[in-house]
A and B are shown apart, each in its own frame.
Chain A
Amino acid sequence: MTKAYLKYRTRITILSSLILLGWVILAVRLFQIQIIDGNDYRIQGKRQAQVKVTLPATRGTIYDRKGLALTSNIIHYSIGVHPTKIEDQDSLADFLSQLTGKSPQHYLSRLESEKPFIYLERNLLNQECESLLDKQFAGVVVEKQISRNYPHQNIASQTLGFIDVDGKGIAGVELKYDRFLKGEAGWVIKSANGLGKTQREVSYPLNQPANGADIYLTIDLEYQTLLQEELIRRIEETGARSASGILMNPQDGSILAMASVPDYDPGAPGLYPVENQKNRVITDQFEPGSTYKIVCATAALDLNTVAIDEEFNCEGGKYSFAGKIIQDWENFGLLNFSQIIEQSSNVGIIKIAERIGANSLYRYSRDYGFGALTNIGLVGETSGILRNTPDWTAISLAELSIGYEVGVTALQLTCAFATIANGGILMKPRIIDRIVSQDGVVIYSDRPEVVRKVADQSVMHALSGMLTKAVATGTGMKARIPGWSIAGKTGTAQKFSNGHYSKSNYISNFAGFFPADNPQIVGVFVLDEPNIGYHWGGIGAAPLFKRIVQRIINLDDDLLLVTAQQSDNQPSEIPIPKTELTPRPTESLVALSTVALVTQSVRNTKNCTIPDIRGMSLRKALKTIRVAGLIPKFQGSGTVAWQSPKPGLIVSPNSTCVIGLK
């Protein structure tokens, strides 16, 4: 230590101590960060070095009953770039040009852009885009989007509904069964660096998405298509505001087709009025008019109040009930019960209603399911209006018997006619057949379900006979198809508006089933405010039944066969307890499906009858022969000109049937 230094010693010691203190403070601080709180920071660090990327689940597909897809998912790719960050413009341009067929120059010029980010391509459908993801071009962003597509556009649109941009169901089945369809998104942990570039690491956890389940509807795409075509055609012809229709299998309650037009395209719902999204067959109620007369008729038959041939004086078509004049469309004199239905006499049915009384009319209305939800499992269903007898006025009995003062949906009406068709069992309508998860497990199935027995089979048989006559010779003649027995009832109702029944606005409707002796299809058609002339149910709505059923007959070989063979194969009667008004949980009634029974019976018979296939197309003929249990051989082309053995011959199964075509 020098003398000079001694002079400064004190202050140097102070500085020295301060430096030492600084060292201690820093050491303590670093110890705190690195050792004491180290774990917290490590967790923070891990969190930012890993990104959780969601893997979207693919939405389930909705199928028709034959497994035809009504929806599809399309994967789009959008390619964006940060032009300034592109390192190798040429190879990127070449790659994209191979992908899209556009010239590399097109891309090179776009890459010159000075914007921070531009899209080069949007909504590319090309799968190759996936490889762009792997190539890891610097500055390129590939976005993958899955969009919902409705390949049949307007077909079944009100049933299907649609989804919003976030993939959430907004209407229809897409909304109601969203939780099944949407699946569950998965995720993957990727490593990330400070620039946000992510990379998949094999050791990082991955949770694969659970794709949505598929839904099989009872809807038949072909039936649905022709239903909608015919409804549109009828609107054009009749000037109706809207038209709706349902086709149902009366044996198990399956909805085969269901629509109201005008409709919309679920792929572009915004282009149509919101009104069009409504599934009017379940959301709209109307006063049906004469189609409702079946309720009174069922009660009269079931309670044995009126015999089928009992005659009533129809008072020349004018009858005063509780001070109100009720008129018929024709000045009927004496009509028996059956004729009253056939000719749809208001006076006649009111006289029958007077006999059965208000309580019975109400009870059978309830039994048929009017005034209650059908629980079809779609959104927006209304229960309609059916007031209980204490709320009835003096003329309610008469009004109800002819289908006024009651609000029904087309679906309720369909269910009621299906009850007549299947021999007295009210089936719960079903539109969801089953929901199948991606691994093929049925996770939900809507089995055919009996709601209650409404009346005995004999009663329904008798009523069915009346309805058959109504089509054959009565008001429903426009629904007649030569060679087929069809049961049906027309309905013409004045619309109630502004406090009174309108003289110009009508609901024209028709409900029927086919074939009358072993019903396979129930059809209900409703025209809202058709032009006068078409306002009659028998004129406006009845032709819809004829046209649609005729097209179905031409379309469906199976249906033809079943009806040709069915006569001896009535479904065996299953004892069903006549239930109270409140529906009970009921056993499944699959066996009611005649289709299954018939095909089975054909296969099991020892001997087969050679069917008459002359005049059929080759396709139809081959199918007919096979279903009959025979082996076809054919020669020539065209339609079937001859066949051997002759039709009607009884042969052993698996015999050969040779057919010649010309």
Chain B
Amino acid sequence: MTQLNQIWKNYDRMLIITVLLLAVVGMVMLYSASSIWAYNHYDTGTYFLQKQVLRLAIALLIMYGFMRLDYRHLKDWANIILIVSVVLLIATKMIYFLQHNPAPARWIHLGPLSLQTSDIARLSLIIYLSAYINKKRQKLEDFYFGFLPAVVVIALILGLIIIQPDFSTAAIIGVIGFTILFLGGARLPHIVVTITSAITILIPVMLMEPYRRARILSFFNPAADTGGSSYQVQQSLISLGNGGLFGLGLGNSMEKNLFLPTPHTDFIFSIIGEETGFIGVIIVLTLFLIAFQRGIKIAKNATDPFSILLALGIAFSFILYAFINTAVISNLLPTTGLPMPLISYGGSGLVLNLAGIGILLNISRKDQPSKRSNRWFS
């Protein structure tokens, strides 16, 4: 009890409440969206719910761990963390290659938990870049000694993710990386030139994959073929439209009745839109916005660039996924395959997002020892 009291007093309450609310909304909607699909494929409507509840429990434990871990240790370990995640990316690719597994090399299996190595890399990169900028400070404005090394690290991570292949995740991590560089004080011309040249190089790569080309083409004309890539988007729009202002009520979605394939993953937000209406999706989006604002609030109270950038990086990464997912289901962006944080089914995003939130909460901690102690947890 004292522990809870202590958390209540010393951590950013608002952020905790917001995140927990999102997790609860996620569970309820996951059950609603997945039950028919689960019943059809696994004979039990709670198949996905059971698995996700277990994952949430693990993720909350991990979050609690990071809440207690003095985040300042991360600054020293940033290089190691980055190297580990690079090794994981390479190792995953190797394992898939050696096993002749034709699937994209995205997953690493750790006991009951499966994690996407790109999710790990994302958090690692945020930590690394924050630490890097903290070290370089004004030198970041120097292209060769400040800016370029950071870009090389980002490019390395992105390259490894692109060859998985997972272009969408690579792109979004790129956006996060450059945003941190931007916040950290990198010169705008540097950023613009780098991004422009990166895009010039990557567009042909992007269009090489037929499925990606199809997604992009169908984005510009979603009604053209209702059987292919745009089918999901079309169903998603129907789903949202069905919801109207107040929604059809929990459990009443028509779309999840097997029209929308795997409604519990990337397109779960459209089911939320159908069952809880415009009101519901706005509330969820606002919760994400609040979480981001808390991130900024926490950054405001932070005393060093590392803390500020880490807090902002985590908060930005969190809301960016939510926005991009919403943009996809409302057909503002081509289908990316990116999940809705804390809501979509899956353990990897959940664990890494809550780990990030844990770090963020740790930054917000009021009773932080003034000097970094040798004790890791307190």
Q: What is the interface residue range for chain B against chain A?
A: 35 or more
Q: Does A4 contact B (CB under 8 A)?
A: yes
On whether the beta carbons of A34 and B244 are closer than 8 Å, the reply is yes
The CA of A116 and the CA of B240, in the complex, are separated in Å by 34
- From residue 1 to 37 of chain A, which have CB atoms closer than 8 A to chain B? 1-5, 7-8, 11-12, 15-16, 19-20, 22-23, 25-27, 29-31, 33-35, 37
- Quick check: A45 and B254 within 8 Å, CB to CB? yes
Output the nearest chain A residue to B261 by Cβ-Cβ distance: A194
Pick from B179, B255, B278, B299: contact of A31, CB below 8 A.
B278
Closest to B273 in A: A34
Our pick among B237, B301, B304, B332 for the contact of A41 (Cβ within 8 Å) is B237
Chain B residues lying within 8 Å of A16, measured Cβ to Cβ, are 293, 296
* Pairwise interchain contact A30-B273, C-beta atoms closer than 8 A: yes
B71–chain A nearest beta-carbon distance, Å: 15
Measured CA separation A455–B300 after assembly (Å) = 121
Asked if B240 and A34 make an inter-chain contact with CB atoms under 8 angstroms apart, the answer reads: yes
A193 to B257 alpha-carbon distance, docked (Å): 6
Partner of A30, one of B238, B278, B302: B278
Chain B residues whose CB sits within 8 angstroms of the CB of A12 once the complex forms:
183, 296, 299, 312
Contact check, A4 vs B243: say whether CB atoms are below 8 A apart.
no
Tell me the A167-203 residues at the B interface (CB within 8 Å): 193-195
Would you call A45 and B242 a contact (CB within 8 A)?
yes
Contacts of B299 in A (CB 8 A): 5, 8, 12
B258, CB-defined interface residue at 8 Å: yes
Measured CA separation A31–B330 after assembly (Å): 10
- The residue of chain A having its C-beta at the shortest distance from the C-beta of B240 within the complex is A33
Q: Which residues 268-298 in B have Cβ within 8 Å of A in the complex? A: 273, 277-278, 281-282, 285-286, 289, 292-293, 296
Q: Which among A7, A26, A42 is the interface contact of B241 at CB below 8 angstroms?
A: A42
CA distance A40 to B254 in the complex (A): 15
Do the beta carbons of B332 and A48 come within 8 Å of each other? no
Residue of A2, A23, A25, A35 near B289 (CB, 8 A) is A23
Cβ–Cβ < 8 Å partners of A19 in chain B: 289, 292, 316, 319, 323
Q: Inside 8 A of A131's CB, which chain B residues have their CB?
A: none
A359, B316: Cα distance in complex, Å: 109
Of all chain A residues, which has the CB nearest B269?
Answer: A30
Q: A16-B296, A26-B285, A45-B241 are in contact. Are A4 and B330 (CB under 8 A)?
A: no
Verify if A616 is at the interface (C-beta below 8 Å from B).
no
B260 interface neighbour in A2, A4, A11, A194, Cβ under 8 Å = A194
A203 shortest CB reach to chain B, Å = 15
> Out of A8, A34, A39, A194, which one reaches B305, CB within 8 Å?
A8
Chain A positions 560 through 587: 1 when the CB is less than 8 Å from some CB of chain B, otherwise 0: 0000000000000000000000000000
Q: Cβ of A49 < 8 Å from any Cβ of B?
A: yes
Question: Across the interface, do A4 and B261 meet the contact criterion of CB distance under 8 Å?
Answer: no
Complex interface: chain A residues within 8 A of B235 (CB): 194
- In the complex, whether A38 has a CB less than 8 A from a CB of chain B is yes
Instruction: Give 4 A-B pairs besides A26-B285, A26-B323 with Cβ atoms closer than 8 angstroms.
Output: A5-B300, A8-B184, A16-B293, A45-B241
What are 19 residue pairs bridging A and B, where the CB atoms are less than 8 Å apart in the complex?
A1-B301, A2-B300, A4-B303, A12-B299, A19-B292, A19-B323, A23-B286, A30-B273, A30-B282, A31-B278, A33-B237, A34-B243, A38-B240, A38-B241, A40-B241, A42-B244, A45-B259, A194-B259, A194-B261
